[in-house]
Amino acid sequence: MTQTGNNTTLEAHELECIRDDRILFSNLGFRLEPGQALVLEGRNGSGKTSLLRILCGIRLPEAGMVTWGATDIGKLGADYHVHTAYVGHRDGIKLDLTPLENLAMARALGKPSDITLEAALEKVDLCGFEDVLTRNLSAGQQRRLALARLLVTDTVLWILDEPFTSLDTHGIKVIEKLLEQHTASGGMLAVTSHHAVNLNNTPTQTINLSA
Amino acid sequence: MNSDSLTRAYTLLLKRDLILAIRRRAEMLNPLLFFVLVTSLFPLGIGAYPELLETIGPGIIWVAALLAAMLSLDGIFRSDFEDGTLEQFLLSSHPVSVLVLAKVLAHWLITGLPLLLVAPLLGILLGLPADAIRTLLLTLLLGTPVLSLLGAVGVALTVGLRKGGMILSLLVLPLYVPLLIFAANAVDTAAAGLPVTAHLSFISALLVLALSLSPLATAAALRISLS
Amino acid sequence: MFNNFFHKLASPKYFYGFSGRLLPWLATGFILLTLAGLYYGLVKAPPDYQQGDSYRIMFVHVPSAWMSLFIYVVMAGAGAIGLVWRIKLAEVISISSASVGASFTFLALVTGSIWGKPMWGTWWVWDARLTSELILLFLYLGIIALHNAIDDKRIAARATAILAIVGVVNIPIIHYSVEWWNTLHQGPTVTKFDAPSIHLSMLIPLLLMAVAFKLYYLMVVLMRARCEVIERERNTGWVKQLVESQ
């Protein structure tokens, strides 16, 4: 399902990020291979979200660069984005659309995966909510819908900002299972989380930005 | 990504924005009401002398159209920015400018096109002759897409700001000047019974220019605003 | 060699030193040329046979009007360079130009209106050039407002660059549509600011003043850019050294 090889390595080189005059981090580097996970830890405001947005290519680092298969992601543009999926602070779903409509839009924005939209909803435990307006779902259900976006396109690198926000213990288990399946099939993860992330079967590197 | 999937994304996004507009249709009416209201304030403010109204009618209607379009501009990107879907467009595997074009087209269908429906009514209120009203419709048809296209650049630049509205008008209104001049004058000229082909060609040229350049500028502006 | 020079110039540290050495020369040139221009313009040049002495405001008005357009183009050009090649110095030059350009535009408007008073009998006439100048002022103000509204300096510089580029595409369109509108509504008024066959005794001070204004712009933009560079680079070693050495 996902391609493997040298061209799917994510590397960060000497990244520096400054916000409001404060150096959040500098000289930060790492290397992420298929099947691996990167977990970012740190206090509020330590730059976790900023780092994820730099990895997405939304934000420019003050210095340094991010490469995908040894090419600068700024140069790759859409050729990089086709391999990535991002779930940020904000869910990235429209409250006035139904879950199915939301997923259809998300799928059209990337390279479609083989899974049907209904099956994607089932995987995040949203069976039976296909045609309800998203506005009427609970916060946890909305978050799970946002995470279902990850499944409807065929991507290697998942970049997740606090994926477990507003999820209950059952929801967290469901999502953790999805993440493990993803890395098991050669996918990559970059995650920030307040909760301890339980990825027992995945080789994980942790970066603490407060240190 | 091949062109098939791009076409699919384009049509789906267009459809999505239209569905959203229909689900919140009360908001759709506001710019339209504003357009009618502002136009009908002028006779009250300056006196209902038929000759005077006929002279300044085209200008009034077009200025009101500019303002109505401007008030509705924020809707192109604001709600998508707030719920995070705008980010997703930037991270899609399609050219952002094409997605922008779909959104602007949807915005025009929702807010620009309806202006054409009430414009004849306003023309009659201000006593414009039939020829002038026909030209008014033509200029609105060609001109309102320019308002949406140019406005999109301004909204893209201000979407991340808490108080973007006032600045938006400062950015966008000066850019509307050429369109205002030619469109209002075309209606004037038609009222005098003269041909307006030259005016319409110029407005069409503006439309083509805006159509080709503004999506690129808007896409670049969105990348900057969201970074 | 040229490439090397520009590459070095683009580094903030080198720019700071280089511009510091350049400033006194620019200031001297500006003062000398202004004095010469004013002397030739106000003393040497003969009075106009129609306008008497009141035309002499031209020596300020016309160069300001030239500068207002020139600076806008420079601003958009520098902004584009900053956007495409991510050269911070270009961003700094671009944004430092905005308020200088706005001031020149304002000066052109005020002097134009003062010049118009004896000519037209009122302070303001919707003359094509004054109207274009007014819209140009709005464009400048939009850029300054946008820059002030965005907290992050780098994002602000990049956003204003986009706006300046959009503006620069629009300026010719605005200019010609205003001109066309003017001929339509006013009939062929005497274009007072046009001097089809200007006498040499008037041309020389005009050109002197134009060059003096260019030097002034260069001087002010360098001064502002130096402040901006120091502020942006305050976390770097060379700025800290500089502060300690003083």
Give C100-159 pLDDT, tens digit per residue: 999 999 999 999 999 888 877 888 888 888 889 999 999 999 999 999 999 888 889 999
Q: Is the same domain home to A50 and A73?
A: yes
For the segment A75-91, the average pLDDT, to the nearest whole number, is 91
User: Looking at per-residue confidence, does C120 or B221 come out higher?
Assistant: B221
Nearest to B202 by CA among B153, B152, B138, B119: B138
For chain C, give the mean pLDDT. Answer: 85
- With 0-12 / 13-18 / 19 or more C-beta atoms within 10 angstroms meaning exposed / middle / buried, residue C104 is buried
Greatest alpha-carbon pair distance for chain B in Å reads 61
First to last CA, chain A: 37
Q: What percent of chain B has pLDDT over 90?
A: 75
Residue B100 CA to residue C32 CA, distance in Å, equals: 53
Check whether C192 has a pLDDT greater than 60: no
Q: How many pairs of residues across B and C have Cβ atoms under 8 Å apart?
A: 70
Instruction: Report the residue of chain B nearest C157, measured CA to CA.
Output: B224
Tens-digit pLDDT profile for residues B138-184: 999 999 999 999 999 999 999 988 877 789 999 999 999 999 999 99
Structural domains of chain B, count: 1
Of A139, A154, A169, the position where a domain reaches its end is A154
In a domain, A26, yes or no: yes
What pLDDT score was predicted for residue C3? 62
Q: Is the same domain home to A122 and A65?
A: no
Instruction: Report the residue of chain B nearest A109, measured CA to CA.
Output: B92
Check whether A2 has a pLDDT greater than 60: no
Q: Is the same domain home to A130 and A169?
A: no
What's the ipTM? 0.90
pLDDT class of A6 with cuts at 50, 70, 90: low
Instruction: Give me the residue from C150, C178, C181 closest to B161, CB to CB.
Output: C150
Cβ pair A144, A152 in contact under 8 A: no
Residue A158 CA to residue C227 CA, distance in Å, equals: 42
Residue B188 CA to residue B191 CA, distance in Å, equals: 5
All residues of chain A having their beta carbon less than 8 Å from the beta carbon of residue C154 are 60
Q: What is the DSSP string of A47-100?
A: SHHHHHHHHHTSS--SEEEEEETTEEHHHHTHHHHTTEEEE-SS----TTS-HH
Q: Does C173 contact B178 at a Cβ distance shorter than 8 Å?
A: yes
Name the minimum distance, in Å, from the CA of C151 to any CA of chain A: 9
- Both tokens of B64, joined, read 């009101």
What pLDDT score was predicted for residue B77? 93
- With 0-12 / 13-18 / 19 or more C-beta atoms within 10 angstroms meaning exposed / middle / buried, residue A211 is exposed
Put simply, the chain C residues between 37 and 96 with a CB less than 8 A from any chain B CB are: 83
Q: Choose the mutation target among B13, B25, B80, B88 for the interface with A, i.e. most A CBs under 10 Å.
A: B88
Candidate from A30-34, C6-10, C178-182 with smallest mean pLDDT = C6-10
Nearest to C143 by CA among C167, C169, C174: C167
What pLDDT score was predicted for residue C196? 52
Name the minimum distance, in Å, from the CA of C127 to any CA of chain B: 15
Of A154, A177, A203, the position where a domain reaches its end is A154
Put simply, the chain B residues between 75 and 94 with a CB less than 8 A from any chain A CB are: 79, 82-85, 87-94
Name the minimum distance, in Å, from the CA of A62 to any CA of chain C: 10
Name the minimum distance, in Å, from the CA of C146 to any CA of chain A: 18
In a domain, A90, yes or no: no
All residues of chain C having their beta carbon less than 8 Å from the beta carbon of residue B205 are none
Name the minimum distance, in Å, from the CA of A61 to any CA of chain C: 11
Tens-digit pLDDT profile for residues B10-54: 999 999 999 999 998 888 888 899 999 999 999 999 888 888 888
In a domain, A12, yes or no: yes
All residues of chain C having their beta carbon less than 8 Å from the beta carbon of residue A18 are 235
Name the minimum distance, in Å, from the CA of B177 to any CA of chain C: 7
Put simply, the chain A residues between 30 and 89 with a CB less than 8 A from any chain C CB are: 60
Name the minimum distance, in Å, from the CA of B171 to any CA of chain C: 5
All residues of chain C having their beta carbon less than 8 Å from the beta carbon of residue B181 are 177-178, 180-181
Q: Choose the mutation target among C152, C177, C185 for the interface with B, i.e. most B CBs under 10 Å.
A: C177
Instruction: Give me the residue from B173, B178, B209 closest to C177, CB to CB.
Output: B178
pLDDT class of A138 with cuts at 50, 70, 90: very high
Q: How many CA atoms lie within 13 A of B83 on its CB side?
A: 17
For the segment C88-109, the average pLDDT, to the nearest whole number, is 93
All residues of chain B having their beta carbon less than 8 Å from the beta carbon of residue C177 are 177-178, 181-182
Our CA angle for A58, A64, A68, nearest 5°, is 60
Q: Is the same domain home to A3 and A75?
A: yes
Q: For residue A29, is it left (φ>0), alpha (ψ between -120 and 50) or beta?
A: beta
Put simply, the chain A residues between 122 and 151 with a CB less than 8 A from any chain B CB are: 149
Cβ pair C160, C79 in contact under 8 A: yes
CATH of the domain at A180: 3.40.50.300
Q: For residue A13, is it left (φ>0), alpha (ψ between -120 and 50) or beta?
A: beta
C237 touches chain A (CB under 8 A): no
In a domain, A186, yes or no: yes
First to last CA, chain B: 24
Neighbours of chain A (3+ CB pairs under 8 A): B, C
For chain A, give the mean pLDDT. Answer: 89
Nearest to C164 by CA among C225, C81, C73: C73
- With 0-12 / 13-18 / 19 or more C-beta atoms within 10 angstroms meaning exposed / middle / buried, residue B15 is middle
What pLDDT score was predicted for residue B104? 96
What pLDDT score was predicted for residue C5? 66
Bridge partners (DSSP) of residue A87 are: A160
pLDDT class of B1 with cuts at 50, 70, 90: low
- Residue range of the domain that includes B100: 3-226
Name the minimum distance, in Å, from the CA of C152 to any CA of chain A: 7
Q: For residue C143, is it left (φ>0), alpha (ψ between -120 and 50) or beta?
A: alpha
Q: Choose the mutation target among C130, C132, C155, C162 for the interface with B, i.e. most B CBs under 10 Å.
A: C162
Q: Does B88 contact A90 at a Cβ distance shorter than 8 Å?
A: no
pLDDT class of C8 with cuts at 50, 70, 90: low
H-state helical runs in chain B: 3-23, 25-46, 50-73, 78-83, 85-90, 96-107, 113-125, 130-158, 164-172, 177-191, 197-226
- Both tokens of A206, joined, read 């942790």
Name the minimum distance, in Å, from the CA of C69 to any CA of chain A: 32
Q: Is the same domain home to A79 and A117?
A: no
Residue C135 CA to residue B136 CA, distance in Å, equals: 25
For chain B, give the mean pLDDT. Answer: 92
User: Looking at per-residue confidence, does C121 or A99 come out higher?
Assistant: A99
Check whether C14 has a pLDDT greater than 90: no
Cβ pair B82, B199 in contact under 8 A: no
- Residue range of the domain that includes A18: 1-83+156-211
Cβ pair B167, B151 in contact under 8 A: no
Cβ pair B145, B215 in contact under 8 A: no
Q: Does B174 contact C178 at a Cβ distance shorter than 8 Å?
A: no
Bridge partners (DSSP) of residue A13 are: A65
Check whether A3 has a pLDDT greater than 50: no
Q: Choose the mutation target among B6, B92, B99, B216 for the interface with A, i.e. most A CBs under 10 Å.
A: B92
Check whether B207 has a pLDDT greater than 70: yes
Check whether A159 has a pLDDT greater than 60: yes
Check whether C1 has a pLDDT greater than 70: no
Tens-digit pLDDT profile for residues C24-73: 999 999 999 999 998 888 888 888 777 778 788 888 999 999 999 999 99
C126 touches chain B (CB under 8 A): no
Check whether C234 has a pLDDT greater than 90: no
| Beta-carbon count within 10 A of A102 CB | 27
Greatest alpha-carbon pair distance for chain C in Å reads 65
Residue B58 CA to residue B128 CA, distance in Å, equals: 8
Q: Does A95 contact B83 at a Cβ distance shorter than 8 Å?
A: yes
- Both tokens of B2, joined, read 């091949």
Of A154, A171, A192, the position where a domain reaches its end is A154
Nearest to A119 by CA among A131, A130, A108: A130
Instruction: Give me the residue from A20, A23, A60 closest to C235, CB to CB.
Output: A23
One-letter identity of residue A68:
W
For the segment A82-110, the average pLDDT, to the nearest whole number, is 93
Instruction: Report the residue of chain A nearest B88, measured CA to CA.
Output: A92
Q: What percent of chain B has pLDDT over 70?
A: 100
Instruction: Give me the residue from B161, B185, B214 closest to C181, CB to CB.
Output: B185
Instruction: Report the residue of chain C nearest B157, measured CA to CA.
Output: C159
pLDDT class of C7 with cuts at 50, 70, 90: low
Structural domains of chain A, count: 2
